[in-house]
Amino acid sequence: MDLLVDGFAKAIALLTSLDQEVLAITLLSLKVSVTATLISLVLGISSGTLLALADFPGKRLIVSIVNTGMGLPPVVVGLFVTIFLWRNGPFGYLDILYTPTAMIIAQAVIATPIVCGITVASIQNLPPNLRLQILALGATRLQMVLILIKEARLPLLAGVMAGFGGVISEVGASIMVGGNIKGYTRVLTTATVMESGMGNFDMAFALSIILLLLCFAINYLLTRIQQRERPR
Amino acid sequence: MSGDAGLLEVENLEVVRGGVRVLEIPSFVLHENEVLSLIGPNGAGKSTLLLALARLLPAASGTMRYRGEPISSDRSTFAYRRRLAMVFQQPLLFDATVFDNVASGLKIRGMSRREIRERVMETLELFKMVHLAERSARKLSGGEAQRTSLARAFAIRPEMIFLDEPFVALDPPTREALMADLERILGETSTAAVLATHDQLEALRLSDRMAVMKQGEIVQNGPPAEVMNCPVDEFVASFVGMENVLTGRVVDACEGMLTLSLAQCRIEFPGSAGIGESAVFCIRPEHITISNFDPDAETSARNVFPAVIRRIVPTGVFQKIHLDCGFSLVAYLTNQSLANLHLDEGKRVFVSFKATAVHMIRSGK
């Protein structure tokens, strides 16, 4: 019980004193995860829309693979990204392993199937004749796709939240491709794992609370947008 | 209302789905300012034809010409589609206000904000829904939503509009109000229209021409009165409310008049067939008159028979009388006539109908 109380007190102290190291870790967490989420939105929404609208043999298989990808274990992603970015790997020449860029890549790989899967479901959930109605209104194919995405914006926001939630909270991939280097690739989750491993439970607890608050703040913002759009 | 110019001309249109031919239209013409209704049961291919006409469904084969210009390339298809509008059974509104919904086709065309505002308000006025402009589409009633969908279609000032059973999900008063407005607006805007419906009354009221569809084909096409009174086959007859479809044997044929024998009765009507042939003919229930006395002396009707009333079924506006004259007949009477004639089940009466009320569908050995 003491651990909890001490941890909570430490967290408050760290937050109120604006500890430089903690602040830097928090900002890096935000930077990596927000960038990865944005990349996953571009990739996930476009591929998800394409997948939802196109008709081709094997579509169900692809959608099943994407849906499986929504639960991709971060350590597996971490392993593959590490192999790809390893000195002798196919992209070793980029020399980005153990950098924030590598973490962004790994997190984008985790979030993209989540956003893609939710996009497929959201677009397919629209009335089937809506596409024809939009074309009948004189839209080009591109206009039709953009209008469909706009119509699916509320469930898509849930996709944004799920994608962001998936990457801000993951630790396996970040540790593997980032290396938890102090002042460079250390983020809230990797720092928590390390502090807790060293027995500094109060510090680990404080970092966890910051992580939770961060998640809450972002999701609160997105939920506000989503609920404001919803008809009352 | 129909002019001579074929606005839209279609030849040998075929649509194939999953290897099965679901639509086969050897020829189809829609004239300028004309309202054509497609009637037929569910699954007859009405929606498929509308989608194919709007070029929203790929056709396996066939040619289409709009104002004489072929619609073949992607470019001509796109240009063609911008001149038409389509309204579906479901309103399919966007998650936005009524104003934005009505504006959507105009935004797609890249019109200026000022033009859009003017056009939308004008259209909303036409549809008597200015007061709903700022309401969210999700908060509309079924009738208001379908009205918005129609307004959205008319806002782009289409030269031609395709309506796929737009009233089917509405309650009767809403349906009536919307239909009256559509009738007025189609007239005022001189828009050519194709209306798919399975309601013959809706078709009769709104259209200049009717086409009856069955299993992906148009089986009859002509002015409403012709389709209603002179169906080409039993299917069309039953679909247009021709409740009396009978078969008799020709016993006399003279000067364009046939006499048929049916259950000891002689029925006369104009037509041609060989003596001894069997003939299928039909009579609309509203063309049959019922009286308590033999009207022989005072009627010009050639066909008069004694009959017994088997059943009286109220249907709201009129009463449906099932009669037995040796063969079965159905007649319609208003509630008032039923009361005046003191009719009841089991009563003996006389039925009469004019020779010209009988339409021969076909004859053969």
Using the Cβ of A140 and the Cβ atoms of chain B, whether some distance falls under 8 Å is answered with yes
Question: Would you state the pLDDT for residue A226?
Answer: 82
> Tell me: the pLDDT tens digits for A18-54?
788 889 999 999 999 999 999 999 999 999 999 999 9
Give percent above pLDDT 70 in chain A: 98
Domain regions of chain A by residue span: 2-227
How far apart (Å, rounded) are the C-alpha atoms in residues B239 and A44? Answer: 51
Which of A139, A147, A231 has its CB closest to that of B138? A231
Question: Would you state the pLDDT for residue A231?
Answer: 52
User: Are B179 and B187 a contacting pair, CB within 8 Å?
Assistant: no
Which position has the higher pLDDT, A117 or B6? Answer: A117
Which of B81, B138, B162 has its CB closest to that of A138? B81
Half-sphere exposure of B325 (CA within 13 A, CB side): 24
Return the closest-CA partner of residue B313 out of B322, B304, B305: B322
Question: Would you state the pLDDT for residue B239?
Answer: 87
Cβ contacts of A151 on chain B, cutoff 8 Å:
94-95
H or E, element range at B311: strand B303-314
Mean model confidence pLDDT for chain B: 92
Which residues on neighbouring strands pair with residue B24, listed in sequence order? B14
Q: Is A135 close to B152, i.e. CB distance below 8 A?
A: no
Which of A131, A133, A154, A230 best tests the B interface by mutation, with the highest count of B CBs <10 A?
A133
Question: Would you state the pLDDT for residue B3?
Answer: 44
Q: Is B105 close to A138, i.e. CB distance below 8 A?
A: yes
Q: Is B108 close to A132, i.e. CB distance below 8 A?
A: no
Distance from CA of B86 to the nearest CA of A (A): 6
pLDDT band for B11, please (50, 70, 90 cuts). very high
What's the token pair of residue A187? Answer: 């983020």
Distance from CA of A158 to the nearest CA of B (A): 17
Q: Is B78 close to A140, i.e. CB distance below 8 A?
A: yes
Which of B56, B82, B85 has its CB closest to that of A132? B56
Residues 6+ apart with CB under 8 A from A185: A28, A98, A99, A100, A103, A174, A178, A179
Nearest-Cα residue of chain B relative to residue A128:
B92
Nearest-Cα residue of chain B relative to residue A126:
B92
Across A1-5, A206-210, B92-96, B291-295, least confident range: A1-5
pLDDT band for A217, please (50, 70, 90 cuts). very high
Which position has the higher pLDDT, A204 or B99? Answer: B99
Q: Is A135 close to B56, i.e. CB distance below 8 A?
A: yes
Using the Cβ of A68 and the Cβ atoms of chain B, whether some distance falls under 8 Å is answered with no
Query: What domains are defined for chain B?
Result: 6-234 (3.40.50.300), 244-364 (2.40.50.100)
Q: Is A136 close to B54, i.e. CB distance below 8 A?
A: yes
**Which DSSP string do the residues of B17-72 spell out, in sequence order?**
ETTEEEEEEEEEEEETT-EEEEE--TTSSHHHHHHHHTT-S--SEEEEEETTEE--
Which of A127, A137, A231 has its CB closest to that of B105? A137
Using the Cβ of A227 and the Cβ atoms of chain B, whether some distance falls under 8 Å is answered with no
> Tell me: the pLDDT tens digits for A42-96?
999 999 999 999 989 999 999 999 999 999 999 999 999 999 999 998 999 999 9
Q: Is A151 close to B156, i.e. CB distance below 8 A?
A: no
Q: Is B86 close to A140, i.e. CB distance below 8 A?
A: no
Nearest-Cα residue of chain B relative to residue A140:
B78
Which of A127, A136, A151 has its CB closest to that of B85? A136
Which of B82, B92, B102 best tests the A interface by mutation, with the highest count of A CBs <10 A?
B92
Distance from CA of B3 to the nearest CA of A (A): 26
How far apart (Å, rounded) are the C-alpha atoms in residues A86 and A221? Answer: 38
pLDDT band for B4, please (50, 70, 90 cuts). low
Torsion angle in degrees (nearest 10) through CA of B317, B322, B325, B329? 70
Q: Domain A2-227 in CATH: superfamily?
A: MetI-like (1.10.3720.10)
Distance from CA of A132 to the nearest CA of B (A): 6
pLDDT band for B264, please (50, 70, 90 cuts). confident
Nearest-Cα residue of chain B relative to residue A132:
B56
- Left if phi > 0, otherwise alpha if psi is -120 to 50, otherwise beta: which for A98? left
Nearest-Cα residue of chain B relative to residue A138:
B82
E strand map for B263-302: 265-270, 278-283, 289-291
Nearest-Cα residue of chain A relative to residue B89:
A129
Nearest-Cα residue of chain B relative to residue A154:
B95
How far apart (Å, rounded) are the C-alpha atoms in residues B359 and B284? Answer: 9
**Mean pLDDT confidence for B298-311:** 86
Cβ contacts of A130 on chain B, cutoff 8 Å:
92
How far apart (Å, rounded) are the C-alpha atoms in residues B212 and B220? Answer: 5
pLDDT band for B2, please (50, 70, 90 cuts). very low
